[in-house]
């Protein structure tokens, strides 16, 4: 078996490992941003569902906050705000959940309208 050639500064042995270690933080950052985008999208979807349920309940004379809370996952209920600015309108807003819990990313909201039912 022939001996290995001596390593020189121009050797490419281990180059792939060095590149992987250098790119790993970038890949993890991209994955974290993608996950945050998924969480924000889910919050938008859920707040729209909750607003529709709250407006429906409000139109029948029920409590819109209870209806909105019933249609939200438990982890989104903490930042729930429900307002009824006009006849039949209901505005629901929730906090955007952070992927790592350290950031405050703002709120998303939705307004829905049902005519009052008698």
Examine residue 91 and state whether it is found in any structural domain, yes or no. Answer: yes
Residue 87 lies in a domain: yes
Cα 99–Cα 83–Cα 52 angle in degrees, nearest 5: 70
Is pLDDT at 86 greater than 70 in this prediction?
yes
Q: What is the dihedral of CA 109, 115, 117, 118, to 10 degrees?
A: 140
Inside any domain, residue 67: yes
Average pLDDT over residues 32-46: 94
Q: What pTM was estimated for this model as a whole?
A: 0.76
Within a domain: 97: yes
The answer to whether position 33 is within a domain reads: yes
Q: Domain residues for 95? A: 17-113
Asked whether residue 102 is domain-assigned, the answer is yes
Looking at residue 109, its pLDDT comes to 95
What is the number of domains present in the chain?
1
Mean per-residue pLDDT, 16-33: 88
Q: Is the pLDDT assigned to residue 94 strictly greater than 90?
A: yes
72 is a domain residue? yes
Residue 77 domain-assigned (yes or no): yes
């Amino acid at each position: 078996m022939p001996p290995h050639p001596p390593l020189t500064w121009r050797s490419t042995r281990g180059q792939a490992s060095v590149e992987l270690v250098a790119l790993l933080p970038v890949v993890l950052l991209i994955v974290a941003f993608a996950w945050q985008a998924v969480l924000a999208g889910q919050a938008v979807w859920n707040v729209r569902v909750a607003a529709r349920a709250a407006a429906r309940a409000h139109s029948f004379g029920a409590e819109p906050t209870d209806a909105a809370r019933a249609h939200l996952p438990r982890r989104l209920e903490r930042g729930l705000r429900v307002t009824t600015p006009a006849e039949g309108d209901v505005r629901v807003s929730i906090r955007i959940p952070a992927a790592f819990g350290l950031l405050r990313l703002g709120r998303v909201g939705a307004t829905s309208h049902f005519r009052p039912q008698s």
